[in-house]
Structure 1
């Protein structure tokens, strides 16, 4: 009788341990965050492109939730990534652009812009640090662009990431933290192989894999066989660059290998996979019609990006969410999933866990602030406010269907209804003074709250037209 009781108790304990282990896996899912570089909102099949081929990403979207109104908190590389990892808007961390803030012809800049910071301060408690302190193995494989190394910002393993923002896509790469492969090796392929090696490493703790590819950032380089394929393929209006298309297909193929590895390791059901881009695409390379402009602009084409989240058992397959979200939301969302306390610093996003579960979140304003200058890529094709700059100093707010732009040089205000005018072609500010007043007040109050710099000092080199 005593022996039977011991066996019964032992089985109960073992059963509890097994259930508890499964609960731990559920409570601390693995996380893979894949960030493409300069990939536009409509540069993938699941967002409507008929020229670019992305079967693996389309399958991922079919298995998870697609966000049709996803934004980045900045319209170019470094500030977008700084916002993602800090959970904070640019006025808090001071990274607004890449390199200097006074870009473009000095004679056409009316104001002295804010001085730009190029490295994320160590005082910021990053998303990677939060996950590391929650017991995660943290790895960054690919572009960093926020300082000398991800290892100083919460990652325990890093490869191919430093201060640089762009790189050759063919070996020899010249990346100090990535040994060159054989001549002609393709960087997207190499980063994937390194990521697969990381996934193969067995461990008892969950992992956070940050996989920021250098693709599809310039220079446009891709395997010749793929380029030839798209040169033969019928073009789509505004989407017809064969090398860019080949880069996208290569990116998609490699992401497919990551997903296949998760299946092979039996980890797919225990892993959140997030795919997005750091900002909008370059409009002269690929148009995002009906969205206006592209990378570097705060019109929709510069800040709206593709976003998919797959999390089996929590996110219903094949779902679509139209609620506006931001890459600022990743940090608080992961903390919410892990039931971790918020850090001792402001977080400007919200948890979108309710959206992932098919619920709703309260309507909120989204803000952008850009007190600097970015010169034009292509004056005829950029779609900016004027042909000289993609962006002049200003701020933007979106609330509901309304979006207000404020420009500091001339105190200009532009109001658009994104429901009826997603291309931001019809400025309806004069016809909607009450909406302008409401949004402008929100914007001014937000700038005060975040101590956002507003340029007012005249540029002595400026020559009025």
Structure 2
């Protein structure tokens, strides 16, 4: 009996040993998976309007590669830049900090437009990030990544001082200069001239793909901030002719449309390189714009205004995020996000802790995994002036400026603009009035008060500087406009 009872005990012991071994093997595989660091490619197009891509419903622009990416990505229909023009938006993206925290409000100087039409002395602007500011590139370096930037930096003399191992074409400049979209490249930094006539967007992509190939066996962060589609408008003549011959109800610049298609072609090259190298499944690919498009080049109707304005046309941008195995392909997200959110998202993905750091954004991980962040206020602060591009087409608050000093708060569908020159306020319900035409401050005093209090608390908490000093050269707007009309130089 004793011998017989030993047999099942041995069988049970053997089974338990195998089970424990399987569990340990499974746990080991899970840990290995957890330790796999995804590559990250961040494509940041310059001045690309919210509507100016096929997947956003526009039929004029031909963007098959970006449309294909959209079919494989989460699509964010209410994605916002933290500022309405290049430098402050990029500073906020790179740090996760809103403009009062880093002091980059515009492309210097802050006193833009005719001095006689500025009622206040604007707040002094900072044109670069400080070296003490922790950048997204430095975050990836802390996690053991190789980092490279290919294109526009606009936040200092050299991005290698702020976390990038490789820099091709980036410094403090905001555009490639006269004739700069074709080689020779006007002495762009760390970018040798190519064959005469080589396109800059093509070249930056080729350099980026070489970076991918050189780092395919280790985790990398590739930041691809194309100079395109920023002015000066220059494009391949074949594509310009193609759009010149298309029906163009929105009167979009054919050169601009050709630049957009060139960007699309190069996004396709990036996607193909990932597939060819077997990296697609372990690469997060993000596509967005730094701010809204220029309205006189490509109208953003039904959105109001464009680049440089804090109406929707200036800050709402296209955004796609593809993370294989995590994001749901072609799922449209209506929850508002901002480019401030990318820094804390990467902190969570990389498991990097910065004890003395607090982002002004929120991690997008809950959204990417099918959940939500939850309703939260979003803020914009612009204590300076931006002169009008085109007084007839800008669709701003007045014809002289795209933006006068002000702040904005958004909560859900509600958005409040506050202006420091005259304490003017505009309240809009974006679900019912995406074009921001119907000011509801008079009919919705409780909502106006609620958002104004949120804004005042935020300004106080961040120490956001408010312009208060009167400009001694100021002439009232009405007198200024009348003077210009009398001299036939207003329109």
TM-score above 0.5, yes or no: yes
Q: Do residues 150 (structure 1) and 159 (structure 2) align?
A: yes
Indicate the SS of the match to 1:308.
strand
Report the TM-score, using the length of structure 2 for normalisation. Answer: 0.90
Q: Do residues 248 (structure 1) and 260 (structure 2) align?
A: yes
Residue 115 of structure 1, aligned match among 117, 124, 146: 124
In structure 1, how many angstroms separate the alpha carbons of the residues matched to 2:28 and 2:411? Answer: 48
CA RMSD, 1 decimal = 1.8
1:406-461 Cα shifts (integer Å, max 9, x gaps) = 00001100001101000001111010100010000000110011100100100011
Give the CA deviation at 1:275: 0.2
Preserved CA contact (<8 Å) 1:332 1:342: no
Preserved CA contact (<8 Å) 2:92 2:339: yes
In structure 1, how many angstroms separate the alpha carbons of the residues matched to 2:244 and 2:453? Answer: 50
Give the CA deviation at 1:99: 1.2
Report the TM-score, using the length of structure 1 for normalisation. Answer: 0.95
User: Gaps spanning 5+ residues in structure 2: where?
Assistant: 1-17, 480-491
Which one has a bigger Cα radius of gyration?
Answer: 2
Residue 227 of structure 2, aligned match among 214, 217, 220: 214
Q: Do residues 364 (structure 1) and 376 (structure 2) align?
A: yes
Give the CA deviation at 1:236: 3.1
In structure 2, how many angstroms separate the alpha carbons of the residues matched to 1:421 and 1:128? Answer: 38
In structure 1, how many angstroms separate the alpha carbons of the residues matched to 2:364 and 2:69? Answer: 19
**Which residues of 2 match residues 264-413 of structure 1 at below 5 A?**
264-413=276-425
Q: Do residues 229 (structure 1) and 242 (structure 2) align?
A: yes
1:64-92 Cα shifts (integer Å, max 9, x gaps) = 10000000000000000000011100001
**Alpha carbons of structure 1 residues 10 and 161: separation in structure 2 relative to 1, 3 Å:** farther
Give the CA deviation at 1:48: 1.4
1:301-324 Cα shifts (integer Å, max 9, x gaps) = 000000000011000111110000
Residue 261 of structure 1, aligned match among 273, 280, 292: 273
In structure 1, how many angstroms separate the alpha carbons of the residues matched to 2:148 and 2:431? Answer: 40
Query: Which residue of structure 2 aligns with residue 182 of structure 1?
Result: 195
Aligned residue pairs: how many? 455
Indicate the SS of the match to 1:279.
coil
**Alpha carbons of structure 1 residues 129 and 107: separation in structure 2 relative to 1, 3 Å:** same
Preserved CA contact (<8 Å) 1:50 1:236: no
Residue 426 of structure 1, aligned match among 438, 455, 475: 438
In structure 1, how many angstroms separate the alpha carbons of the residues matched to 2:23 and 2:408? Answer: 59
User: Gaps spanning 5+ residues in structure 1: where?
Assistant: 1-7
In structure 2, how many angstroms separate the alpha carbons of the residues matched to 1:131 and 1:109? Answer: 42
In structure 2, how many angstroms separate the alpha carbons of the residues matched to 1:235 and 1:347? Answer: 43
**Alpha carbons of structure 1 residues 105 and 66: separation in structure 2 relative to 1, 3 Å:** same
Q: Do residues 40 (structure 1) and 64 (structure 2) align?
A: no
Query: Which residue of structure 1 aligns with residue 74 of structure 2?
Result: 65
Indicate the SS of the match to 1:396.
strand
